[in-house]
Structure 1
Amino acid sequence: MQRSTDPIEGIETVKILPGEFYVTRANERIETVLGSCISACVRDPIAGVGGMNHFMLPVDRKLSQNPTELSDANRYGNYAMENLVNALLAIGAKRNRLEFKLFGGGRIMGAMNNIGWYNIGFAFDYVYTEGFNLVSQDIGDIYPRKVLYYPADGRVRVRRLNAMHNRTLAEQENNYIHRIESKPIEGDVELF
């Protein structure tokens, strides 16, 4: 993950990419750029911890019997959500206090226009099935998004990117899909 200090806000910033997640108890900003991908911004406001994930596909249907590498598993929503929640619980969050904010799922890829829709369906199903509190969302439509998340206070800033950025982001997502489809999934997750 890339780290930098924002020159205007003076805040430490962590940039996550598809298949990654990050949790913190520090006053940091987490950011990512989404097309058809989804990011969940999750925090426990009492414990003062929060984090964000970024996943490309909803569920891996060919679950590995001996997963070992988390980054491979996190490309799928079912792993990305569980790993984010488990990491937050490990640093002091309480499950019943977690607040979810969902972003992304834009339809930016012509030939693969349903991926964002499937991601959105998975994300809502996960949040509601697990009984979590969804406090806000900016999902769907045709826009890619840049998401800036401040876990310390729960603030999120979303910038919808114009069509000029769509082609580049769509190409990156398409390349990413082809890479992950050809690579076996590995990872460890505790489902509860």
Structure 2
Amino acid sequence: MRIEAIGRFKRVILDPGEYHAATDATVISTLLGSCVSACLYDPIGKVIGMNHFLLSNRRYSRDLPLYVSEAGRYGIHAMELLINEMLKKGAQKRFLKAKVFGGANIMVSKESLGNFACVSEVNCRFIREFLKNENIDIVAEDLGKDHGRVIHFSNGDFAVYVRKIGQNRSQSLLIRDRDCWQKAIEMQERTLPAIDIW
């Protein structure tokens, strides 16, 4: 996890396997391929959290229930860590909402899998099933397809800014990406109360 500070605001950049929860003026960012990020928020308690996880095998039988698989156990662990961290910061589970992203199929053709599901498909299926079982509403999603994503999750208005990425990455995209999360911070400045500095 890396943290960039801009005045009283910060940007937290997650790598695979990491999670972060915040109550302050924060944008949480990550880069997703076949991995999935759950962006959870409590709009009453003003707590946000994001994780970045990848289930651990290349493919799974389509008939195997996820909750009894190694992948399901790993995904449950990743989600429970995030939810527990948010609860420690004052979120209430009954108020949690979700926005979910990732699960791109960028490496394997579906025709070559037969009765198996590739990891990206399993990631998408897992996050939907987990949130449904936990009674956490998905209010937005961008899952699957064949492109990666850079996402920025803002605590000011609970918006998630998404940039789709293909095979090439240029300097102009990096600048545009930085502009995107800086705009999220500016939005937070308008929506979060001012803090007196002593």
Report the TM-score range of the alignment, normalised by the length of the smaller protein. Answer: 0.7 to 0.9
- Distance, in Å, in 2 between the alignment partners of 1:146 and 1:5 is 19
Give the secondary structure class of the aligned counterpart of 1:106.
coil
Deviating 4+ runs (over 6 angstroms): none
Q: CA deviation at 1:11?
A: 3.9
Task: Tell me what 1:173 maps to.
Answer: none
Alignment correspondent of 1:144: 148
1:18 alignment partner in structure 2: 16
1:95-134 aligned within 5 A: 95-110=93-108, 114-134=118-138
Deviations 1:118-162 (A, max 9, x none): 000000000101111111001110000001001332011000002
CA distance in 2, matches of 1:24, 1:152: 11
1:4 deviates by 1.1
Cα shift at 1:110: 2.4
Q: Secondary structure at the match of 1:126?
A: helix
The residue number in structure 2 matching 1:48 is 46
Does the 8 Å contact 1:50/1:152 carry over to 2?
no
- Structure 2: which 5+ residue stretches go unaligned? 57-65, 170-198
For the Cα contact (< 8 Å) 1:25–1:152, is it kept in 2? no
163, 168, 182: which one aligns with 1:159: 163
Equivalent pairs counted in the alignment come to 152
Structure 1 regions of 5+ residues with no counterpart?
64-73, 166-192
RMSD: 2.4
Q: Deviations over 1:33-71 (max 9, x none)?
A: 0000000000101101111000010779459xxxxxxxx
SS of aligned partner of 1:88:
helix
The answer to whether the 8 Å contact 1:32/1:148 transfers is yes
**Structure 1 pair 46–133 and aligned structure 2 pair: CA distance change class (3 A):** same
Tell me the equivalent position of 1:190: none
Distance 1:143 1:62 in 2: 26
- After TM superposition, the score normalised by the length of structure 2 is 0.70
| Percent of aligned pairs with the same amino acid | 34
TM-score (norm 1): 0.72
Q: Distance in 2 between matches of 1:29 and 1:48?
A: 13
Larger Rg: 2
Query: How far, CA to CA, are the matches of 2:126 and 2:80 in structure 1?
Result: 13
